[in-house]
Structure 1
Amino acid sequence: MTAHVIPVQHVGQVREFAERLLTSVVRDAVVRDAYGDFTCSPAGLWLALSAVAAGAESGTARELRALLGVAGPEAALAVNEVTAQLAQTQGVAVATAVWARVAVYRAYRERLPDVRFGHLDPADVRAIDTWVREATGGMIRELPDRPKGEELLLLVNALELDGTWVSPRFKQEETSDQVFTDARGVEHFVPTMATSLPRPSYAWTVEAPSGAREDEVDVVALLCAEEAGRRPLQVSCVLGAPGRGPEEVLPAAWAAREHRRPIDADAVTIALPRLHLHTRLRAEQLLASLGAPLAVSDRADFSGMSPESLRVGRVAQESVLRIDEEGVRAAAVTQVWKRRLGVSGRVPRTRHIAFDRPFGLVVFAGDTGLPLFTAWQASAPRSPHV
C-alpha cells in the first residue's frame, strides 16, 4: 500500500501561508527573542485557522480565504483532507478539538467529523490540559494561553511528530564541540553532530531569482525511518549567506525543482548542532497584517459556526523542536479563543556544509512539500537532553 498524496492545492495554500507568516513574524518581531530564534508550525496554525474559517461568512470569509486559500464549507473539507493525509506520515499525529459554552451549529460539527466537541468551563481547564499533554506525547503540558473567563469558544489543534534518522545517521562518538557564530558575531563552542551523506543527491543549492550567488541557499535533506505504506518525515536544513534572515532563507526548503542545482561534489559531509527550540506565538497580532483584520474586529462574521455573535479574541501557538543524534521530535499546540464580539578514477571532491552560523530547519511530511514545522537558529544552539 502506498501513502496517499496530499492534494496539491492544499500544499500550495500552506506554503503560501507559511511565507506570509514568516514575513510577518520577522517584521513584527512577534515571536523572536533578541537573537531571532524561533520555531512554529505553519501546518498547525493553518489547520486551526481553517477550522475557524469553516464557520466564517461574508467579508470575514473573503479575508480568510485570501489568507488561507479556503473558507466556509470548503475549509472544512480541506481540514479533513489534510488531517487524514498527515496521518499517512510516519511518526505524525494530529488532532483538533472544540470546547464551547455557546451553541454550535450541527451543520458545522458534521462538516468536521474528526473534530472533538465538548463543553467549555473557563474556570476549570484541567481536562483540556490533559488532552494537550496526550495529543503532544507530553512535549507540551498545558494550553499556551490561559483563559481569562470571558471566552465563549476554544478551538485547539495539536500536531506532534517523532522521527528516527535513517539517512544519514549521526553517531554519538562523532559529536564534538565546534564553533557556532551567532547572529551578533559571537563565537560559541556547541555540541555538533557530523556525518556524510550517502549520496550528493541529498544536498543541493537553490539558485536565487536574481542570479546573485550571495543569495543562493544550500539545502541538506535528512530522512527519517518509515513503515510500509506511510511516508517518512524529511528535515531540510537550510543555510544562506551570512546576514540573510529566515524570511529569505527558509522558503528555499520548498523551492521548485527547476530552481535546484546539484552540489558539484562526489561526496558531501555536514556538521549540524544539536538544538532545542521553544517558542510561544501570539498570532492574533498578525491577522490584521496578514490581511484578515475583520476576524478580530467587532464586525467579524462567524454565523456559520454559531448563532452567537463571535469574534476571534486570541490566537496562540506553542511549539517545541528538538534535533539530536537519534532524530527529530516536535510538537505544536495552536489555540483560538473566541469571544463576543557514479565513481571515476580521479580524486573524489568533497563538499563540507557546516551549519556553524544562523540557519533554518523545515520539517516536511515526506516528499509532499507541506511544511509541518519551520525554525530559525540564530543564537548558540541549546542541546536537548540526550
Structure 2
Amino acid sequence: MRNSTVRAVNHLTTRWAAAQAPAGDTSSVFTAAGVWPLLALLADGSGGAARAELAHALGIPAEAAAGAARELLAALAGVRGLRTATGLWAKAGLPLEEDWSAKLPAGARGMLTGNPDADAKTLDAWASDRTGGLIERMPVLLDEHSLLVLASALALRLRWIQPFDEAYGEPFAGPWAGRPVRTLVRSTSLLDRVRVAHGPSGAVTLLEVVGTAGVDVHLVLGEPEAPVGDTLTTAIAAVTKALPATGASLLPDGSPGPGLAVAAVAAYSPEPRLDIETVAFEVRSEHDLLDHARLFGLEAATDSDRGHFPGISSQPLAIASARQSALARFHAEGFEAAAVTAFGAAAGCAPTRPRYRARRAEVYFDRPFGFLTVHRTSRLVLAAGWVAEPDSP
C-alpha cells in the first residue's frame, strides 16, 4: 500500500486518539482503517462544501480518494489473519451514478426494502458473517426513509510468536489495587521489545508483542496523570517512526519509563532478560462518528436541507447515520502449558557465586494503558484503544 495512504490513515487515527476522553476511566477501541475507506468513497461522489471537508479529513484530494480506498482495501485483504469486506445496500428505485458505482471495491450489493426490521436482519447477518461473529449487529440507524447504506468490516485474528503464561494476581497500587485480575507473564532475552518515547505529557513506555501474521500489538503506558490522548498520540508517533524511541538496552538504570525498571544485576548467565507482566482484557466500543463530525469531515454532509453527493445519485443525499462497533481482546490464546516435576537428592555443597553482570528489565502494565495494532511492514495502525478495566478471573 502507498506510503501516502498509510500516512493519511494514521493521521486520522492520531486525530481520533487525540479526541479521546482525557481521564482514561472508560475503555475504548476504534479503527480509523475501517472508517477511512468509506470516507474516501463518499468523497469521490461528493460536491460543494462536503467535498472540501471530506478531502481535508482524508488528507488527500477527493479526486484521488476512490482509487486510494480500493488500493488500501486490496492491501489489507493481503494481510494474513485479517479479513476485510465492503457492502452497499440501496433502496429500490434509487438511481446510482454508474461512474461512482464502478469505482467501488468488490463486495456485497443489496437492496433496502424500506422495512427497517427486515433490513436490519439482513445487515446484521452480513456484519456477523464478515467478522466471524465478533460483531453481531450493523451499527447503522435505519427507518423507512433510509436510502443507502455503505459499510466496511475488518476482522483480525493473530497468535503470539511467544505465548504468555496465564496467572491470577492483584496489583499492589493504582486504581486496580487489591482486585483479582487475569495476569499474563513471560520473559525474553530481547530487551528492545520495550522502548520509551517522550511526548507532551512525559515519558511513554511501549511494549511490542509480536504476532505470527505480520501484525503486532503494542501496549502503551503513560505517566499516571497523562491525558489518554497524549499517551496514544505519542505512541502512534513512536510506532510509525515519526518520533524516536529508545530500547531498554540503551536506557539508563533505574525507572526510565512508566512501569519500567532497568538494572545491571549479578547473574548466572550473561544473557539479558526482559520480564513482562500485563493483564488480559476485552474491550467493546460503540462510536457515533457524528459526535466528532468535524474530525471525519461530515459537518456539511449531514445538512438534510440539501444534497451533497451528486456523484453518487441524482437524488439528493445527506448523511443521517455514521457509527462504528469495535471489539478487541488480548489474552494467551494459543498458549499451551506443560509441567515437569522432579525430586532429586544428592550430597550438598556451598552454592556457587554468580559469575556475570547482566542487563535486566521489568515492565508492568498494572494500571490503565493503551494499545495499538500495527501492520509490521507498512506501519499502518489497524486499531487503537484504551484499557480502563482488566479481565477478572
TM-score range, shorter chain: 0.7 to 0.9
1:339 corresponding residue in structure 2: none
Q: List per-residue Cα deviations over 1:135-169 (Å, max 9, x = no partner).
A: 00011112123412221111111010000111x32
1:383/1:98 CA distance change after superposition, 3 Å = farther
Identity %: 25
Moved beyond 6 Å, runs of 4+: none
2:58 to 57, 68, 90: 68
Q: List per-residue Cα deviations over 1:40-85 (Å, max 9, x = no partner).
A: 1111121222222221122211111111123544111111111111
The residue type paired with residue 55 of structure 2 is R
The residue type paired with residue 114 of structure 1 is A
The residue type paired with residue 308 of structure 1 is Q
Would you say 1:310 and 2:312 are equivalent positions?
Answer: no
1:246 to 185, 203, 228: 228
Query: Deviation of residue 273 (structure 1)?
Result: 0.5
Would you say 1:16 and 2:11 are equivalent positions?
Answer: yes
| Matches for 1:101-250 after TM superposition, within 5 Å | 101=91, 102-123=94-115, 124-125=118-119, 126-166=121-161, 168-172=162-166, 175-179=167-171, 187-208=178-199, 215-226=202-213, 232-250=214-232
SS class of match (2:357): coil
Query: Deviation of residue 198 (structure 1)?
Result: 4.0
CA distance in 1, matches of 2:29, 2:77: 22
Residues 236 and 362 in structure 1, CA contact (< 8 A), matched pair in contact too? yes
1:91 to 81, 86, 91: 81
| Matches for 1:30-49 after TM superposition, within 5 Å | 35-49=25-39
Residues 24 and 290 in structure 1, CA contact (< 8 A), matched pair in contact too? no
Query: Deviation of residue 241 (structure 1)?
Result: 0.8
Would you say 1:271 and 2:258 are equivalent positions?
Answer: no
Residues 239 and 249 in structure 1, CA contact (< 8 A), matched pair in contact too? yes
Q: List per-residue Cα deviations over 1:245-288 (Å, max 9, x = no partner).
A: 32111123332265111213533221111001011001112113
1:369/1:300 CA distance change after superposition, 3 Å = farther
Residues 191 and 361 in structure 2, CA contact (< 8 A), matched pair in contact too? no
Residues 294 and 300 in structure 1, CA contact (< 8 A), matched pair in contact too? no
SS class of match (2:311): coil
**TM-score (structure 2 length as normaliser):** 0.81
Query: Deviation of residue 303 (structure 1)?
Result: 0.7
Residues 53 and 70 in structure 1, CA contact (< 8 A), matched pair in contact too? no
Would you say 1:363 and 2:370 are equivalent positions?
Answer: no
Residues 181 and 358 in structure 1, CA contact (< 8 A), matched pair in contact too? no
**TM-score (structure 1 length as normaliser):** 0.83
Structure 1, gaps ≥5 residues long: 1-5, 227-231, 329-344
Residues 196 and 246 in structure 2, CA contact (< 8 A), matched pair in contact too? yes
Count of residue correspondences: 344
Would you say 1:381 and 2:390 are equivalent positions?
Answer: yes
CA distance in 1, matches of 2:392, 2:114: 36
Bigger mean CA offset, 257-266 vs 118-127: 257-266
CA distance in 2, matches of 1:287, 1:234: 30
Residues 223 and 234 in structure 1, CA contact (< 8 A), matched pair in contact too? yes
Bigger mean CA offset, 62-71 vs 130-139: 62-71
1:46/1:113 CA distance change after superposition, 3 Å = closer
Query: Deviation of residue 188 (structure 1)?
Result: 2.1
SS class of match (1:312): coil
Q: List per-residue Cα deviations over 1:298-338 (Å, max 9, x = no partner).
A: 3452111111111111111000111110269xxxxxxxxxx
SS class of match (1:259): coil
1:146/1:58 CA distance change after superposition, 3 Å = closer
Query: Deviation of residue 353 (structure 1)?
Result: 1.0
CA distance in 2, matches of 1:65, 1:163: 33
1:142/1:354 CA distance change after superposition, 3 Å = same
Query: Deviation of residue 292 (structure 1)?
Result: 3.9
Structure 2, gaps ≥5 residues long: 252-261, 263-271, 336-354
2:333 corresponding residue in structure 1: 326
CA distance in 2, matches of 1:65, 1:85: 21
Q: CA RMSD in A?
A: 2.4
